[in-house]
């Protein structure tokens, strides 16, 4: 009988999360943010008509791996690098599309392209998503429904950033996000939420911020009050349609180790899972660079025995457009700190924000500017 596939022993250091107030932790968060931003810029620049989606995914992943390899030399390769593989969602594709090398999916002028990725240093991650309209930019802005859906997602994200303050609640955010998205005649994609993240963990198990109110027959999420020194992923996915998602015929390529143990029977399965344990013990990964022959057999047996979690490629209805923005935010005492600042896209939407409360909210800075120290130590308003 084959030996049980044991997961590697985890050092105590892997479990410690002192939070962003720790200088070393903050440095790792910021470094992950810089690397993710650089990889995102490289992919955005490559979003041109005729470019294959797989080329974009490889640009993002390779940039993250290269940048991480050059720093923190004492860390093992598996302890830094890709937190989430680069996914390319075109038009009605909502997410998780990290194509294989033989995939022929190609960008065309006017396509609405979502780029989703993330880097980590020792489990402290920066996740980011951005949406571009192919062939559009400053001087040639996107228009029509493409501009509407991108504007809805972008502004909803900006609303969350301004409400993500200690003392505010998740319900406060949900209500305002709904109102913002509705201004553009769009809907939030079902199941997507912003949420609290911790070291090594991207699971939205607590502090969920829903983008829309749940169905009447669904359990109502617990209202959560935000606190200082928490880390959130602000994730907004918006559709021109109803916001429903479904699986089609695109192959699933994104997985994650669930840390369950089982005695794998097939040699191909053991070889495949051994590579997962060695190179991707904790973070999400794409199977693009695995041996194709071992992978198909290995995944089948691993999935059958609940050793892997899979992330299927999801779609809205044909003809609809979907946009996404994602940012990682640290709730610091001085105010929210963004690891990956998202630039406003060039848009001329058909709709605009008419709600005065939202307009006033968006005028507020995300983080209050630092007060300048007065020279000479004179008290404000004091007289000589």
Give the per-residue pLDDT at 188: 95
Closest CA to 50 of 132, 134, 118, 126: 134
DSSP structural state of residue 118: E
Over residues 286-315, the mean pLDDT reads: 92
Closest CA to 118 of 110, 109, 108, 129: 129
The rounded distance, in Å, linking the Cα atoms of 156 and 180 is 6
Give tens-digit pLDDT for 234-281. 999 999 999 999 999 999 999 999 999 899 999 999 999 999 999 999
Residue 384: pLDDT above 50? no
Give the per-residue pLDDT at 334: 83
Give the per-residue pLDDT at 218: 54
Over residues 193-208, the mean pLDDT reads: 84
Structural domains of the chain ordered from first start: 20-252+312-366 (3.90.230.10), 254-308 (1.10.10.10)
Residue 380: pLDDT above 50? no
Tell me the pLDDT band of 379, cut-offs 50, 70 and 90: very low
Give the per-residue pLDDT at 16: 76
Tell me the pLDDT band of 374, cut-offs 50, 70 and 90: low
- Contact 125/327 with Cβ under 8 angstroms? no
Give tens-digit pLDDT for 33-43. 999 999 999 99
Give the per-residue pLDDT at 104: 97
Give the per-residue pLDDT at 340: 81
Per the prediction, the chain carries an average pLDDT of 89
Beta-carbon contacts of 190 under 8 Å, excluding residues fewer than 6 positions away, are: 212, 243, 244, 245
Residue 377: pLDDT above 70? no
Tell me the pLDDT band of 5, cut-offs 50, 70 and 90: very low
When mean pLDDT is compared over 17-26, 193-202, 323-332, the highest value belongs to 323-332
Residue 381: pLDDT above 70? no
When mean pLDDT is compared over 2-16, 51-65, 293-307, the highest value belongs to 51-65
Residue 352: pLDDT above 80? yes
Give tens-digit pLDDT for 76-135. 999 999 999 999 999 999 999 999 999 999 999 999 999 999 999 999 999 999 999 999
Give the per-residue pLDDT at 149: 98
Angle CA(315)–CA(36)–CA(84) in degrees, nearest 5? 45
The rounded distance, in Å, linking the Cα atoms of 232 and 202 is 10
Supply 309's token pair. 């979690």
Higher pLDDT, 19 or 252: 252
Give the per-residue pLDDT at 7: 46
Give tens-digit pLDDT for 162-187. 999 999 999 999 999 999 999 999 99
The rounded distance, in Å, linking the Cα atoms of 184 and 44 is 24
Give tens-digit pLDDT for 209-225. 888 765 555 566 789 99
Give the per-residue pLDDT at 317: 97
């Amino acid at each position: 009988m084959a030996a049980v596939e044991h997961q590697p022993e985890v050092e105590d250091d892997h479990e410690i999360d002192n939070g962003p107030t720790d200088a070393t932790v903050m440095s790792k968060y910021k470094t992950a943010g810089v690397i993710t931003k650089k990889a995102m810029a490289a992919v955005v620049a490559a979003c041109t008509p005729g470019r294959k989606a797989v080329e974009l995914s490889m640009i993002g992943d390779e940039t993250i791996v290269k940048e991480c390899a050059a720093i923190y030399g004492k860390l093992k390769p598996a302890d830094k690098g890709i937190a989430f593989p680069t996914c390319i969602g075109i038009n009605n594709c909502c997410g998780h599309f990290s194509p294989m090398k033989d995939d022929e999916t190609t960008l065309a002028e006017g396509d609405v392209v979502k780029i989703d990725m993330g880097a980590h240093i020792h489990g402290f991650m920066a996740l980011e998503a951005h949406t571009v309209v192919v062939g559009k930019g400053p001087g040639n802005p996107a228009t029509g429904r493409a501009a509407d859906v991108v504007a809805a997602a972008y502004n909803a994200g900006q609303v969350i950033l301004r409400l993500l303050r200690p003392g505010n609640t998740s319900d406060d955010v949900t209500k305002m996000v709904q109102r913002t998205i509705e201004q553009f005649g769009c809907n939030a994609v079902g199941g997507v939420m912003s949420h609290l993240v911790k070291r090594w963990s991207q699971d939205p198990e607590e502090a969920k911020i829903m983008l829309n109110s749940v169905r009447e027959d669904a359990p109502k999420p617990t209202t959560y009050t935000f606190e200082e020194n928490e880390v959130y992923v602000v994730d907004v996915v918006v559709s021109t349609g109803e916001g429903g998602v479904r699986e089609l015929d695109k192959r699933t390529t994104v997985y994650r180790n669930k840390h369950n143990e089982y005695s794998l029977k097939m040699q191909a399965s053991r070889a495949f899972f051994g590579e997962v344990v060695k190179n991707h013990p904790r973070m999400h990964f794409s199977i693009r660079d695995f041996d194709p022959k071992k992978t198909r057999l290995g995944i089948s047996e691993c999935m059958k025995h609940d050793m892997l979690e899979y992330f299927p490629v999801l779609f809205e209805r044909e003809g609809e457009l979907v946009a996404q923005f994602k940012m990682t935010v640290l709730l610091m005492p001085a105010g929210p700190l963004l690891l990956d600042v998202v630039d406003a896209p060039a848009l001329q939407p058909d709709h605009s924000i008419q709600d005065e409360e939202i307009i006033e909210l968006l005028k507020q800075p995300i983080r209050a500017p630092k007060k300048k120290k007065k020279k000479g130590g004179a008290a404000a308003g004091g007289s000589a």
